Amino acid sequence: QVQVVESGGGLVQAGGSLTLSCTASGLTFYAMGWFRQAPGKAREGVSCLVWEYGTIYYSDSVKGRFTISRDNAKNTLYLQMTSLKPGDTAMYYCAVVKGCRREGAVKEYDVRYWGQGTQVTVSS
């Protein structure tokens, strides 16, 4: 049974930090990525990591503030978010994906499995 489970969302003040985690089980995969969807906006790719090689991609909106990483032994993906802004408020989704993209980090049409999402709220 395939499972993709996120954790770590919450409420944080602007300028603060938060780390999201995502564990995938029941499958082998090439890459994993993070998306987010703010109220009233389309879902966008945030970051992506090619598991075997460790190749990393970020969207321009988070480059320099967010860091994606992995723990191979635990099949767990992380997203460390720093210097958070109110504009980062969104539901964040982890996904197992077929590949990453140089433009925009990761696209919805590459998603194989979605996680359930975790809410991140940044107060001003």
Per-residue pLDDT of 9-56, as tens digits, reads 999 999 999 999 999 998 888 999 999 999 999 999 999 999 989 999
Which amino acid belongs to residue 93? Y
pLDDT at 120: 98
Mean pLDDT of 64-88: 96
Instruction: Check if the beta carbon of residue 68 is closer than 8 Å to that of residue 50.
Output: no
* 92 vs 73: CA distance, rounded Å: 23
pLDDT of residue 27: 87
What is the pLDDT at residue 29? Answer: 86
| Nearest-angstrom CA–CA distance, 120 and 65 | 15
- pLDDT higher than 90, residue 105: yes
